[in-house]
Homo-oligomer: A and B are copies of this chain.
Amino acid sequence: MAGALLCDEYELTMSQSFWRQGDTGPVAFELFVRSLPRERGYLVACGLHDVLTFLGSFSFSEDDLSYLAAGGRYDPAFLAYLRNLRFTGSVDAVPEGTPLGAGEPLLRIIAPRIEATLVESALVAIVTHQTMIASKTRKIVDAASGRDVWDFSLRRLHGVGAGVPTARAAWIGGAAGTATVEAGRELGIPTTGTMAHHFVLSYGMDGEEKAFAAFLREFPTSGVLLVDTYDVRTGIEHAIAASQSTGIPLQGIRIDSGDLVEHSMLARRMLDAAGMTAARIIASSDLDEYRIADILDRGAPIDGFGVGTMLGTSADAPNLSGVYKLVAQEMHGRWVPLMKCSQEKATNPGMHAIFRQDAWHDTVSLVGENIPGTPLLERVVEHGTCCSPSPSLSAIRSRCAAMMAELPPELRLPHPTRTFGVQLSGALTDLKEELMAEHVQLRLHRTPVVAS
């Protein structure tokens, strides 16, 4: 797992200052997504599992410490302190696979200040990446209306290291599986593989039928043939001929270019005419929820989709505004709520609970308020140790599917017309206003240091 130096340097500079001041008491940070991208009616919470792995192995190696020492920026006594640092705090989190809205805490860390400070960038990266992918995949899966969607995105990610987390988030979001083999090995996610154009080319420019026959013999129960290396109609003819000559039933074909509606209709007619009604038609080629909805609306008889680029980069919304904010700190044995008041970036003060009112309406309250609804945040780590059994990947995936099924279609459209509803409780609203006013008061009563 990632080392502790996969952080932003300010986490270290601030920590040294905290350490110097002896400011190492308990604090609470919450991780949330500031706003929904325009085409997202909801988010699917994802990434908690990797957060727990990261926190569980959090430590500075001797190499890390030597590097920091060599730079001369850090106090040797501070580095000695880092040597023994582990994550000893607690984590409250929304279960993975849960749909939710903007501004809701996906995760709360309560920990000694320096520990909570040093894990910021890693936690934000892990949670916002996987939440982005799970949310995008869910939209694509909804657009495919029951047809399989496969994650084909490995080559489009920020390096291959993103392959397994992406496949996992896509699977939670409802993908039928992935082409990334390592995700099968590590997590048991179903994998799939057809063929590339170069397989067909390898038989020479007149060898398509021969290529198909060889592949069918190799994978008689799973072989899917890619028919557009030269020309789709000829490719389908060759696929049919290869099945007939080998006597191996054709499982399916894949079309990866051109007009997918026209080509899939042609393929269906040709396959049916050859009696191959069970052969499935798989489509790929820059697909996303918008294109899938469109080609299905136009009657394309496609049975499954391979989705790469648009899924793996969430191309229409390639980042989420995930932030990790200090919401409270313990002072003299009492938790004091805090908020940032920056223009347009003000945060909600205090530690929060989420209560689900119905499938797509939540109330965010202060912890301890008595609000109707089902509480969503669960304590998963206590004193640095997992205190709740991790659900299986398939349980997370089922949770997501079940909760999504309750959302109205307006949130689930490619271009949603409603968004997941989040309201603040009265007490939280009051506290926010009170602190804002208190801050304005403070500011008004200061004498400016310089004129401007």
Q: Which A residues fall within an 8 A CB radius of B?
A: 2-3, 5-14, 16-18, 20-21, 23, 27, 29, 50, 63-64, 67-68, 71, 73, 113, 117, 120-122, 124-126, 128-129, 152, 154-163, 165-166, 179-182, 184-185, 191-199, 201-202, 204-206, 214-215, 218-219, 222, 228-234, 237, 240-241, 244, 256-258, 266, 269-270, 273-274, 309, 312-315, 318-319, 322, 325-326, 329, 331, 336, 338-345, 435, 438-439, 442-443, 446, 448-452
A113 to chain B, nearest CB (A): 7
Given contacts A23-B202, A160-B126, contact A3 B182 (CB under 8 A): yes
Q: Name the B residues within 8 Å of A344 (CB-CB).
A: 257-258
Contact A194 B13 (CB under 8 A): yes
* A237-B449 contact in complex given A67-B185, A218-B16, C-beta closer than 8 Å: yes
Which of A2, A122, A162, A452 has the largest count of B CB atoms less than 10 A from its CB? A452
A452 to chain B, nearest CB (A): 5
Which B residues touch A117, using CB under 8 A? 196, 198
Contact at A8–B340, with CB atoms within 8 Å? no
Closest to A263 in B: B343
A55 to chain B, nearest CB (A): 13
Task: Report A103 CB to chain B, min CB distance, Å.
Answer: 17
- The minimal Cβ–Cβ distance linking A212 to chain B, given in whole angstroms, is 11
The 5 closest A-B pairs by CB, nearest first: A9-B193, A161-B161, A198-B326, A318-B318, A158-B162
Q: Assuming A7-B182, A9-B191, what are 20 further A-B pairs, CB within 8 angstroms?
A: A7-B154, A8-B181, A9-B180, A9-B181, A11-B196, A14-B196, A17-B218, A20-B214, A73-B219, A126-B159, A128-B155, A128-B156, A197-B340, A228-B343, A230-B443, A237-B449, A240-B449, A257-B345, A258-B344, A313-B319
Cross-chain contact A202 with B18 (CB below 8 angstroms): yes
Chain B residue at minimum C-beta to C-beta distance from A198: B326
- CB pair A125–B341 under 8 Å, yes or no, is no
A195 / chain B contacts, CB cutoff of 8 Å = 10, 13-14
Complexed CA–CA distance, A202 and B22 (Å) = 12
Q: Inside 8 A of A158's CB, which chain B residues have their CB?
A: 129, 157-159, 162, 165-166
A73 neighbours in B (Cβ, 8 Å): 219, 222
Is B273 a contact of A451 with CB atoms below 8 Å?
Answer: yes
Considering the chains assembled together, what is the distance between the CA atoms of A14 and B179 in angstroms? Answer: 13
Q: Which residues of B contact A313 (CB under 8 A)?
A: 313, 318-319
